[in-house]
Amino acid sequence: MTTPEPTVDRIPIGHSINYAVRGLPEIADEYNAERTIAPTEITLVYRAAPDSQLGRISAYVKGWWMQDGKRIPMDKPVGRWLYGGPDSWPAWLAAEAQLHDPDAPPADSPDPLRAYVAELDDRLSGCCQECNACAAIARDLAAEMRTEATEATEVPPTA
């Protein structure tokens, strides 16, 4: 008699990207106010759902300790984890996180709903020379669509 293979559950909770960097601003060291870290590597972790303590995005900045503009001799680089999301991070690191965020719309593509409304406005603005009611109706419809889309994608809180 053969024993059945155990069932393995694999539940993705996120993914990460890490890369070498040069020329980015130094970041404050977490434990020594006199030192900073000159970044040489960044790791960004994107969770599929926000963690109550860590947030949805965390970052690890690895590099060399700096003090008074000079590198502190070390055997190996040091690093610092930043949690809670990009709103509390230095602006340059928040921009890095946005650049690689799989849930962020591409910077060069407009919001499709705004583009739709703008196109409708252009096409309908001349239809009723007196009242322009068609464009107002299109804007109201788009607003309703946005509300429905938001409600449909919201996840109810768990108890």
Contact 65/35 with Cβ under 8 angstroms? yes
Does one domain contain both 57 and 81? yes
> Is 62 in the same domain as 140?
no
How far apart CA 96 and CA 86 sit, in angstroms, is: 9
pLDDT at 9: 85
**What was the pLDDT predicted at 43?**
96
Distance between CA atoms of residues 65 and 80, nearest Å: 11
| Within a domain: 7 | no
Q: Which residues pair with 60 in a beta bridge?
A: 43, 81
Predicted TM-score (pTM) of this structure: 0.60
Give me the domain span that covers residue 65: 14-100
Give CA–CA dist 84/81, Å, rounded. Answer: 10
Both 121 and 66 in a single domain? no
**Is residue 82 a part of any domain in this protein?**
yes
The reply to whether 145 falls in a domain is: yes
pLDDT tens sequence across 102-146 = 877 666 655 555 666 566 566 655 565 556 666 676 677 667 666
- Residue 35 near residue 66, CB atoms below 8 Å: yes
Which one of 100, 123, 138 terminates a domain? 100
Query: Left, alpha or beta for 48 (phi > 0: left; psi -120 to 50: alpha)?
Result: alpha
CB within 8 A of 44, min separation 6: which ones?
16, 17, 18, 57, 58, 59, 96, 97, 100
Domains of the chain: total: 2
Q: Is the domain of 75 the same as that of 29? A: yes
User: What are the tens digits of pLDDT across the range 39-50?
Assistant: 999 999 998 887
List Cα–Cα distances, 121 to 44, 127, 140, 153, in angstroms: 40, 10, 12, 27
Q: Does a structural domain hold residue 105?
A: no
